[in-house]
Amino acid sequence: MGLKRVIVTVVFAPLFYILVKYFSSLPFFILLAAGIMIGQYEFYRLFYKERINVSIALGITCGFLLAISFYASNSHASPTISVSIILILVLVVHLFTVKNIESALIDVSITFFGIFYIGWLMGHIILLRGMENGQSLIFFLFLVTWAGDAGAYYAGTYIGKHRLSYVISPKKTYEGAFGCFAFSILMAFIARHWFFSYLTGTDAIILGASFGIISQLGDFSESLLKRSAGVKDSSLLIPAHGGMLDRVDSLLFTAPLLYYYMSFVKG
Q: Which of 65-69, 155-159, 189-193, 214-218 has the lowest mean pLDDT?
A: 155-159
Q: Are 206 and 142 in contact (CB under 8 A)?
A: no
CA 29 to chain centre: 14
Q: Is the pLDDT of residue 75 over 70?
A: no
List all residues 6 or more positions away from 80 whose beta carbon is below 8 Å from its beta carbon: none
Under the banding of pLDDT at 50, 70 and 90, the label for residue 238 is low
| Alpha carbon distance, N-terminus to C-terminus of the chain | 42
What 203-209 contacts at long range (C-beta under 8 Å, 24+ apart), as own/partner pairs, is 203/266, 206/261, 207/140, 207/144, 207/257, 207/258, 207/261, 208/144, 208/184, 209/181, 209/184, 209/185
Q: How far apart are CA 124 and CA 134, in angstroms?
A: 12
Residue type, 260: Y
Under the banding of pLDDT at 50, 70 and 90, the label for residue 5 is low
Q: How far is CA 213 from CA 120, 128, 184, 202, in A?
A: 21, 20, 9, 17
Under the banding of pLDDT at 50, 70 and 90, the label for residue 250 is very high
Domain that holds residue 126: 2-265
Helix, strand, coil proportions of the chain in percent (round to 5)?
80, 5, 20
With a pLDDT cut of 70, the percent of the chain lying above it is 93
Q: What is the pLDDT of residues 14-25, one digit of tens each?
A: 888 899 888 888
With a pLDDT cut of 90, the percent of the chain lying above it is 56
Number of domains composing the chain: 1
Helix 104-114 vs helix 54-72: crossing angle, to nearest 10: 30
CA 127 to chain centre: 14
Residue type, 42: E
φ/ψ of 105, rounded to 5, equals -60, -40
Under the banding of pLDDT at 50, 70 and 90, the label for residue 235 is confident
Under the banding of pLDDT at 50, 70 and 90, the label for residue 40 is very high
Q: What is the pLDDT of residues 52-63, one digit of tens each?
A: 899 999 999 999
Q: What is the pLDDT of residues 129-187, one digit of tens each?
A: 999 888 999 999 999 999 999 898 888 888 877 787 777 877 788 888 999 999 999 99
